[in-house]
Structure formats: C-alpha cells, structure tokens
C-alpha cells in the first residue's frame, strides 16, 4: 500500500489518525462508520476554510453529540461516535491531518 | 532488600554484557552507507522489524495516545536519519508501522526474525526490549494487552524471565518516582516558557524538549541500561508539565 499523505502532514497527526481513527473510519469505504472521504467531504461543505474545519470537527469529536452533529443520518445508521478522551489540542492536530489529506488517493 | 536483589541482578546482567560483547555493532551513517533503501530491504532489516514491534506495542491497548505518537514520530526521524535516503526511509517506516499495528497474530514471527539477526548481540536485545517496555509505560501503566505482547517478545528473544522482570520492575519503580511538578509555575519553568506565551509557543517548546530528551533508540546503542530509563523519566516530566499547562488553560 502506498500511503498518500499531503506534504504538510507531520508524523504526529498521521500516527494519531492511523492509530485511532481508521479502526472505525476506513479511508474510502463506509463500514462500521462513515468513511473518512465522506466525513471530510461533508465537513468541507459545511466549513470550507481549514480553520473552521479544524475548529468545528475537533469541538464535536471532543464530546460527540447528536444535536450538534452535521451528519445526523450517519448517527442513525452507525450510532453515535464514542468519546475518545483526547484533549482539544491533540484533536486539532488530527483534524488538521484530516483536512489536508487526500483520502481518495488512498488505495486501501 | 528488594533493591539489593534487583541491583545484583542488573549488575550481573551488565557484567555479562560487557564481558561478552565488548565491541558493539553500532548504528551509524557509516554502517548504513551502502544500504539500498527499499520496502523489502527495510522490512527485513533489524530496524524495520523493530519498528513493526513498536507498532504492535503502541497499538496493543487499542489506542495510540498522544505521547506515544510523539515518541514514535521522533523515532522515525532518529532511525531514518542514519539511512542514505532519510525521507524515503521515513515514508517506508511509516508504512511498516501502519501495516503492522493492527496485526497481533505475527508478534512471535516478527520477533523471531529480529532475534535471528541480533542473536549474538545481547546489548541490542536489551536496548530494544527496554525501548518497547518504556513505550508501554508511556501512558502511565502497562495494560494487560501490552503486557501480553511484551511477554511474547521477551520469550521469543529468549530473555531469562528474571532478567525481563528485573528490567520491567525497574521501569515501573522509576516511572512511579517521576515527580509531577506540583505547581503551574514549575511547569512553565520546566518547559522554559512564560505564562503569557500562547499555546503555539508552548507546544513548540514542548516538542523541542521531547526531541532533545526522548529515549533515542539509535543513540542508546552502546550506552548503559539506564540510558533509556533516564530518558523516559525526563520525557515523562516534560509531558506532565505540558499536560498541566494544557489543563490549566482549559
């Protein structure tokens, strides 16, 4: 597998992403949770700028909540995402990686 | 009394190592200058196999926490730095890590392949084992799953259980000795930053210190048993100071 990451991605975001997110969120296929590709698309539609994207996604993931979700139908389908216990600054590093990565190039 | 036994065991281990393997085969740019960097070569090299084991220990408890990610990230830099094509090497190491982290069925096989390569080098076996143990301790305590993976690795590398437990216990004691900085002022001082600095500045200072003091698997070669432990303690202190500041600013 050639792992395609953006040039900006640092080890930290990548490691945390691979170590924690992909267990449920496959890059391209929605299996037990919406795919990263899907999540990224939906968030980029709602929050086009990187700053807003990071701000909002990290805020939501810190305390997942159906009422503040922008993907309610996914919660109905896959249930609410569990709280991971990462603090906000770490979540910001991960969401920055998510914003900057082209998941469509991931041939997983 | 416990201490005396522990020191006696560690002392004996030390003596044994220094007697049998006075000459270390160290990792250096010079030693790797003819290494042809490819996934196949790296996967089958000592350090590639070691990265695979690091991945398994890091993910054993189902989660890669932030300090683990920080340390593994720096480890990629340390290892790739001695290879002819550092950037390419780093990308391949990341791939190896990523592929290996979720596989638990081949811990024994990977360890055995590594063991065959370092069979005659007790010092390397100890450095690798020490590094893996400290990684398991990084998030405070070793989980059952982490412990299980470590035991399989130790057994496959034919560690005498007494020796393995002596190393493990000594880590545990040392980790428990880490004094959390009691107050926020000390935390700022330890990181060399001011309370008026913004989080970006503090994070930068934190990362710089981790980079400077973390347990470096390359530099650890040829150093005594205590090196990784001391580096682990220092890293824990830096991390606790950083966590305290983050909490305080919430």
CA distance B213 to B233: 9
Nearest residue in A to B75, CA atom: A11
Q: Which residues of B touch A1 (CB under 8 A)?
A: 95, 98-99
- The reported pTM is 0.83
Which sequence spans correspond to the domains of chain B? 26-169, 184-248
| Cβ atoms of A87 and B246 closer than 8 Å | yes
SS3 B146: helix
Q: How far is A90 from chain B (nearest CA, A)?
A: 7
- Which residue in this structure is represented by tokens 């640092």? A10
A10 in contact with B, Cβ within 8 Å: yes
Chains A and B form CB pairs within 8 A to the count of 56
Q: Does A83 touch chain B (CB under 8 A)?
A: no
Q: What is the distance in angstroms between the Cα of A105 and the nearest Cα belonging to chain B?
A: 15
Q: Using a CB-CB distance cutoff of 8 angstroms, which residues of chain B are in contact with residue A88?
A: 250
Which chain A residues have a beta carbon less than 8 Å from that of B94? 3, 11, 14
Q: What is the 3-state secondary structure (H, E, C) of B90-116?
A: HHHHHHHHHHHCCCCCCHHHHHHHHHH
Residue ranges making up the domain that contains A72: 11-21+34-105
Helices in B144-225 by DSSP H: which ranges? 144-156, 161-177, 184-191, 199-213
Asked if this assembly's ipTM is beyond 0.95, the reply is: no
Question: Does residue A65 form part of some domain?
Answer: yes
In this predicted model, what pLDDT tens digit does every residue of A8-31 receive, in sequence order? Answer: 346 889 999 988 999 899 999 998
* Cβ contact B69–A10 (<8 Å): no
Per-residue pLDDT of chain A (108 residues; tens, 9 = 90+): 334 333 334 688 999 998 899 989 999 999 899 999 999 999 999 999 999 999 999 999 999 999 999 999 999 999 999 998 898 989 999 999 999 999 987 754
Count of the separate structural domains present in chain A: 1
Smallest CA–CA distance, residue B93 to chain A, in Å, is 11
Helix axes B226-248, B184-191, angle to 10 degrees: 120
List chain B pLDDT tens, one digit each, 250 residues. 677 777 777 777 666 555 444 444 578 888 898 899 999 999 999 999 999 999 999 999 888 889 999 999 999 999 999 999 999 999 999 999 999 998 889 999 999 999 999 999 998 999 999 999 999 988 778 999 999 999 999 999 999 999 999 999 998 888 887 876 678 999 999 999 999 999 989 999 999 999 999 999 999 887 877 888 899 999 999 999 999 999 888 7
In a domain, A26, yes or no: no
To probe the interface with A, which of B98, B102, B140 has the most A CB atoms within 10 Å? B98
Is domain B184-248 given the CATH code 1.10.287.110 in the classification?
A: yes
Residues B50, B128: Cα–Cα separation, whole Å: 7
């Amino acid at each position: 597998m050639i792992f395609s990451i953006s040039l900006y991605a640092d080890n930290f975001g990548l490691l945390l992403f691979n170590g924690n997110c992909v267990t449920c969120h496959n890059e391209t296929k929605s299996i037990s949770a919406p795919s990263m590709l899907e999540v990224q698309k939906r968030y980029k539609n709602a929050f086009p700028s990187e700053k807003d994207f990071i701000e909002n996604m990290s805020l939501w993931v810190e305390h997942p909540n159906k009422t503040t979700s922008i993907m309610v139908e996914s919660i109905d389908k896959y249930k609410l995402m569990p709280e991971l216990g990462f603090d906000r600054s770490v979540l910001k590093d991960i969401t920055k990686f998510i914003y900057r990565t082209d998941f469509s190039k991931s041939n997983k | 009394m416990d201490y005396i036994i522990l020191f006696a065991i560690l002392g004996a281990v030390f003596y044994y190592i220094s007697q049998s393997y006075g000459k270390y085969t160290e990792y250096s740019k010079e030693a790797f200058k003819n290494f042809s960097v490819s996934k196949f070569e790296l996967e089958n090299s000592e350090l590639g196999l070691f990265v695979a084991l690091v991945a398994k220990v890091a993910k054993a408890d189902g989660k890669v926490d932030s300090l683990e990610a920080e340390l593994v990230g720096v480890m990629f830099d340390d290892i790739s730095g001695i290879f002819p094509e550092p950037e390419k090497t780093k990308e391949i190491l990341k791939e190896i890590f990523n592929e290996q982290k979720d596989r638990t069925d081949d811990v024994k096989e990977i360890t055995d392949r590594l063991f065959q390569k370092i069979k005659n080098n007790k010092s390397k076996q100890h450095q690798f084992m020490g590094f893996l143990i400290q990684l398991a301790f990084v998030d405070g305590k070793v989980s059952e799953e982490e412990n299980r993976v470590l035991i399989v690795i130790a057994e496959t590398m034919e560690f005498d259980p007494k020796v393995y437990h002596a190393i493990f216990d000594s880590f545990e004691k040392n980790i428990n000795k880490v004094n959390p900085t009691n107050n926020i002022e000390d935390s700022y001082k330890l990181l060399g930053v001011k309370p008026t600095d913004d989080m970006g500045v503090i994070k930068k200072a934190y990362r710089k210190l981790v980079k400077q003091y973390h347990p470096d698997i390359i530099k650890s070669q040829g150093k005594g048993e205590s090196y990784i432990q001391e580096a682990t303690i220092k890293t824990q202190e830096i991390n606790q100071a950083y966590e305290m500041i983050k909490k305080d600013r919430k």
